[in-house]
Amino acid sequence: MKFDLILRIASKLLLPFILLFALYVQFHGDYGPGGGFQAGVIGAAMVILYAIIFGLEAAKRAVPPIVVETMIALGALLFAGVGVTSMLLGGEFLNYSVLAHEPAHGQHLGILLVELGVLITVAGTMVTFFYTFAGRGR
């Protein structure tokens, strides 16, 4: 893809909009279709498109494998942390009602944090799969 100037420019223009759409899906997932999993896959697709157009090494420089692997652990930790926090506050595991002064606000906050954890974990996992399979020899 080194000599496809139009493709390189078009993809650079699309990448921010792909990220914006992933964030839209994430933050409107509790009101309609979407959520953390879908947003994570869309975010990973952005990195994969970058790798296809500009090369795997350029993608690994932009999003290093250590960052991607850390994302997997941090996302799972955030998900589990919300559950443990709700238990420490006197509720059941992932009972979001105890997370705020009003149960409805706690539900909203809990869902947002759990879906954010799912987004981080899914995006990291998908990019790790891509790096692993694209980086192996023929």
Alpha-carbon separation of residue 83 from 28, 40, 114 (angstroms): 22, 20, 9
Res. 98 pLDDT band, cuts 50 70 90: very high
Rounded CA gap, 13 and 31, in Å?
29
Pull the structure tokens for residue 58: 């350029």
pLDDT tens digits along 22-64: 999 998 876 766 788 999 999 999 999 999 999 999 999 999 9
Give the pLDDT score at 30: 66
Rounded CA gap, 23 and 8, in Å?
23
- Find the farthest-apart pair of alpha carbons in the chain and give their distance in angstroms, rounded: 60
pTM, to two decimals = 0.89
Domain that holds residue 66: 5-135
Contact by Cβ (8 Å): 81, 54: no
- Across the chain, mean pLDDT equals 91
| Structural domain count, the chain | 1
Give the pLDDT score at 11: 93
**Core vs surface per residue 17-36: b (16+ CB within 10 A) or e:** ebeebbeebbbebeeeebbb
Give the pLDDT score at 138: 65
